[in-house]
Amino acid sequence: LSESSRINEKFLSMSGNVYYYYNFRDDHFEASGDFLTLFGLDVKFYTDTELLSEFVRGSDIQCAKEVINSEDSGAAEITNDFCLRNNKKWIEASAFTEYDEDHNPLEKYVCFKDITKFKMQNDELTYMAYYDSLTGLSNRNCFVKELRDMVERAKSEKTTVSVAMMD
């Protein structure tokens, strides 16, 4: 391994991200990073990437497939996040596809990043914004949000909403 390759491999392992590259014309595939740790599947061939969606939570499979098969939509760039089947790990996936002048795919670069810590922190902040930290009861922000949602739903269903306030 050259010094530059060794350094890049070290940065890659430190990031925790996994990547793959595919050249459509030459049928050339390269994968980098620890797919086994992130997904539970060791990706060695381009066909293995189709199996990644089997490790995704049912309601998020379409989001994963949109990135994995990004060339099917003709999108040059797409990013989605999804939860794995175990409901414990969140992944952000980004794909960049280059096309020729006839819009045939030439190359695809895909990155998967573990965003579980970010999602957990975001969920905690969202909870803190809508619930009292001492009692766990809904706060004013939660009330306003729920009321806004009810009013919007009533508008779309052409019904009314009533609110009774007691102090």
With H, G, I as helix, E, B as strand and everything else as coil, classify residue 65.
helix
CA distance 78 to 66: 8
pLDDT at position 167, please? Answer: 67
CA distance 13 to 88: 21
For 49-102, the pLDDT digits (tens) are: 999 999 999 999 999 999 999 999 999 999 999 999 987 899 999 999 999 999
For 123-165, the pLDDT digits (tens) are: 899 989 999 888 989 998 898 899 899 999 999 999 998 888 7
pLDDT at position 70, please? Answer: 95
Sign of CA dihedral 63, 109, 41, 45: positive
CA distance 13 to 80: 22
Report the first-to-last Cα separation within the chain, whole angstroms: 73
Please state the rounded mean pLDDT for residues 94-123. Answer: 95
pTM of the model: 0.77
Per 3-state DSSP, what percentage of the chain is helix, strand, and coil (rounded to 5)?
Answer: 45, 25, 30
CA distance 99 to 82: 26
